[in-house]
Chain A
Amino acid sequence: MNEEFYAFWLSFCTRVPLGKLWKSVNQLGSMEALYYAKEKELSLFTEKEYAYIRQMKECQGIRKLWEEQSKQDYQFLSYKNVLYPSKLLELKEPPFGIYYQGKEEINPNSPVVGMVGARNCTIYGSEMAYRIARELGRQGIVVVSGLAAGIDGASHRGCLDGGGYTLGILGTGIETIYPKENYNLYLEMRKRGGILTEYPPETKPLPMLFPRRNRLISILADFILVVEAREKSGSLITVDFALEQGRDVGVVPGRPCDALSMGCNRLLQQGAKCILTPEDVMEAVLDSGRFVNCKTEKPKVNTDLGLAPKEKMVYSCLRLEPQFIDDILCQLKLSVWEGIQILTELEIKGIIKQNPHHYYYRVQ
């Protein structure tokens, strides 16, 4: 058995704190030694943990899975492997191994932005995340996020639509699609982006496993961007990790009265970078000094949409965040049916959208 296998085996021991495993590997000298260690040598662990480790050792399934690994779609990389992302080694307790599936030829020098935010986000939040990520994708910047619902999903989607490479860090096993609404996104990312996890296959979504993966997002990124977070939210855990790891943090501001922007605005107050446009992100990433050869041409903004005067009037009433149709109609000095018609027309032209039904917002 080679080192890879012992790392593979260790990745299954998810119920033992990673810190203790590392400590004992360091004490015993190697992963192999831990695998064959007797109970006396493992005084570090509680009785329960030891029983668990022994159970894992006797588990035939792991061995079988290892032997059949070549048949699987994913690849397993131990921390000793040359292909293992070197950034992860900056962690105090890096994963013993990671499971990866997706594109293989990635430019290692491209800057990486981690995007995090609320799962139950507003349309404003998901639109902002989408646009920024799309622009980053166009500029060849990698977007890393957690493949959860809400901001995470919008960021991945945006980056893919911009033609970029995006990496999803899962809090589950590599073949578990969670949440279900990201089904299509997951499949697309396997082809055009990448998926990475430290948890063994068939790990179910368990609440205790999710915070741990956040440290991978922040360590892989050069810059962390928060879009919409409540005052007590999982995204702020990522921010804490990022600050510990010496990453810069940027925040998309929100209105002070929005509970969903409270966490974001608080971060701004504490001195986080205020991000208003995708260019702000690019500047911030370049500022970190690591990247010189990055193209920084400003995207052209097409302001003339070629609208009729009445359409222009309706369009000017709309904002980025969705507005209820009654409120729009009340602002307009048009008859109700005329207002409805123009809204439909603009929607068909693709410059405004409605979501949910009868809430309109701009898209360009």
Chain B
Amino acid sequence: MYSHVMSGTIFGIQGLMIQVEADVSDGLPGFHLVGCLSNEIRESGERIRTAMRNSGWYLPPKRIVVNLSPADVRKAGSGFDLPIAIATLVSMGAIPQERIERMVFIGELGLNGAILPVNGVLSVADCAAKSGYQYLFVSKENQAEAAMIPQLKVIGVENVAETVELLGNEERLENAIFYRPQENMEHCQETTCDFRDLKGQPMVRRAMEIAASGMHNLLMTGPPGAGKTMAAKCLTGILPDLSFEERMELTKIYSVKGLLAKQEGLIYKRPFRSPHHTITASSLIGGGLIPKPGEISLAHNGVLFLDELPEFSKSVIEVLRQPLEDKKIRINRLNHTYEFPANVMLVGAMNPCPCGCYPDRNRCHCSMLQIQNYQGKISRAMLDRMDLHLTLQPVSYGEMMQEADGEDSASIRKRVEAVHNLQQERYRGLGIRFNSQLTVEGMKAYCRLGREEQDFMKEIFEQKKLSGRAYHRILKLARTIADMDNKENIELPHLMEAVAFRVSGGGEDE
């Protein structure tokens, strides 16, 4: 008898519905799995048969064929164990076919029949809800994650026997639906670092606020101990929480990577990822036989902090160039192209020279050539993509011992939030959220310059030998500064400040 059950898998970070078909017929006894399967699914036959026997069903000595369609998508992961078992049971007549219409099953089986959690449930749940399915069966551990999709009735089950029992009893099924408790939106901010503790350093504060307001890339240069890492950590404290759509996107990525904490709801904090400088290119941007998102996608809508930037291998830094422009990663494999979101604010930190003390020539004995070589590890193309260049100097003892606290993160955050809201209002319907994401088209509309401002930019362009990209980035940065100033148009002072945060072309060798 033929039967079919719906399941799902992940494709990139999106869900993809997969139909599992089973047929029990006369012939040589056997259990055959077909449909472009990876090894872990191919070997699931043994697992499923044992799990079913231990749950009380003996497979009849008949020819059982299971097919996963569409057959041209390569399927991987262990989430098909449960739907295969259910499909087999349906075709054996243990469950009526009409009972499982509009239901989706995902889960791995243990030999004892237990249902185990899998990665990427959120994406599949989202996809199932959009495709019009009503019920989703997952393991108990996955139920909280799946239930983030409110349109879906999620049922967490512990083993195969329980699943079959629930399917046979309408009333018990409705009772077993898991609902998420009302989320507490008042999250307490984890205070790892606060701007209150950052003494002196007015430039750092200003630059951080601008960067956070428009989600602009930032490069910090300074000697060891100047507080680069601390400043970067403070940055998370002044970034507003994610919006609902942003949270959804981000949680999906973490779910696919299997990084979601159990029972935790949608991620509400902007991510802050700081990979070590030994990272490889594929773990930074994503990769693998079936591509998985990398660090840059995990930092989506948040901060990717690269400490000791010149220590990263050159090829690793250079792969960031394209995603920093496109805000997404495209990974090509023979059959498909996978796309991962990568809308990050890149924060880099580096020493000015090998010893770190330049330009303090009393301590720095590096030759100009050494310094140039060191700074040259970051290509001009990469520097162009950094909107704010910030120089730091170690704080003096006097500044450190200052009694008066600086402004704390919470009040800076309020201002940043206001600027974020302003931008969201302006860019509604354009598919972007921040000034840093403006396209050239968008800039024509929102970064208009008056006569005086145009003259100024012309002079700057020639004097500083800017590239076209640098020019556009200055305008975007000035847009953010104007927003912070609550001005409709970009004015001369805004441009001047934006220019001050950019290094001029080839200044060192003069």
One of A4-12, A16-24, A50-58, A351-359 at the interface = A351-359
Q: How far is the CA of A175 from the CA of B132 in the complex (A)?
A: 78
Taking CB atoms and an 8 Å cut-off, the chain A residues in 265-291 that contact chain B are: none
In the complex, B358 has a CB within 8 A of chain A: yes
One of B62-70, B108-116, B302-310, B365-373 at the interface = B365-373
Q: Name A183's closest neighbour in chain B (CB-CB).
A: B509
Which of A123, A150, A325, A358: most chain B CB closer than 10 A? Answer: A358
Are the C-beta atoms of B367 and A149 separated by less than 8 Å?
Answer: yes
Q: Name A342's closest neighbour in chain B (CB-CB).
A: B496
In the complex, B500 has a CB within 8 A of chain A: yes
Contact with B along A328-342 (1 / 0, CB 8 A): 011000001110110
Are the C-beta atoms of B203 and A358 separated by less than 8 Å?
Answer: yes
In the complex, A196 has a CB within 8 A of chain B: no
Which of A322, A325, A326, A343: most chain B CB closer than 10 A? Answer: A326
Given the interface pairs A344-B496, A345-B496, the reply to whether A259 lies near B362 with Cβ below 8 Å is yes
Are the C-beta atoms of B202 and A179 separated by less than 8 Å?
Answer: no
In the complex, A245 has a CB within 8 A of chain B: no
Number of interface residues of A (CB under 8 A): 36
Are the C-beta atoms of B368 and A181 separated by less than 8 Å?
Answer: yes
Given the interface pairs A355-B507, A355-B508, the reply to whether A326 lies near B202 with Cβ below 8 Å is yes
Q: With both chains docked as a complex, state the minimum distance between the C-beta of A347 and any C-beta of chain B, in angstroms.
A: 8
Are the C-beta atoms of B503 and A357 separated by less than 8 Å?
Answer: yes
Taking CB atoms and an 8 Å cut-off, the chain A residues in 291-350 that contact chain B are: 322, 324-327, 329-330, 336-338, 340-341, 343-345, 348
Are the C-beta atoms of A329 and B202 separated by less than 8 Å?
Answer: yes
Q: With both chains docked as a complex, state the minimum distance between the C-beta of B186 and any C-beta of chain A, in angstroms.
A: 32
In the complex, B187 has a CB within 8 A of chain A: no
In the complex, A41 has a CB within 8 A of chain B: no
In the complex, A364 has a CB within 8 A of chain B: no
Given the interface pairs A324-B393, A326-B393, A356-B359, the reply to whether A340 lies near B206 with Cβ below 8 Å is yes
Are the C-beta atoms of B361 and A260 separated by less than 8 Å?
Answer: yes
In the complex, A180 has a CB within 8 A of chain B: yes
Are the C-beta atoms of A120 and B361 separated by less than 8 Å?
Answer: yes
Number of interface residues of B (CB under 8 A): 39
In the complex, A258 has a CB within 8 A of chain B: yes
Contact with A along B367-396 (1 / 0, CB 8 A): 111001000000000000000011101000
In the complex, A119 has a CB within 8 A of chain B: yes
Q: How far is the CA of A258 from the CA of B499 in the complex (A)?
A: 32
Q: How far is the CA of A300 from the CA of B110 in the complex (A)?
A: 92
Are the C-beta atoms of B203 and A325 separated by less than 8 Å?
Answer: yes
In the complex, B497 has a CB within 8 A of chain A: yes
Q: How far is the CA of A330 from the CA of B496 in the complex (A)?
A: 19
Taking CB atoms and an 8 Å cut-off, the chain B residues in 444-501 that contact chain A are: 456, 459-460, 463, 481, 493, 496-497, 499-500
Contact with B along A118-153 (1 / 0, CB 8 A): 011111000000000000000000000000011000
Among A257, A326, A355, contact of B203 (Cβ-Cβ < 8 Å): A326
In the complex, B205 has a CB within 8 A of chain A: yes
A-B contact pairs, 29 of them (CB 8 A): A120-B368, A121-B361, A149-B369, A150-B368, A259-B362, A324-B393, A326-B201, A326-B202, A326-B203, A329-B202, A330-B200, A336-B206, A338-B493, A340-B203, A340-B496, A344-B497, A344-B500, A345-B496, A348-B460, A348-B463, A355-B510, A356-B358, A356-B507, A356-B508, A357-B221, A357-B503, A357-B507, A358-B390, A358-B391
User: B: which residues have CB within 8 A of A?
Assistant: 200-203, 205-206, 221, 352, 358-359, 361-362, 364-369, 372, 389-391, 393, 456, 459-460, 463, 481, 493, 496-497, 499-500, 503-504, 507-510
Identify 20 new A-B residue pairs, CB closer than 8 A, beyond the known A181-B369, A329-B202, A336-B203: A120-B361, A120-B364, A120-B365, A120-B366, A149-B367, A149-B368, A181-B372, A257-B362, A324-B393, A326-B201, A326-B393, A327-B393, A329-B203, A336-B205, A338-B493, A341-B493, A343-B500, A348-B459, A356-B391, A358-B390
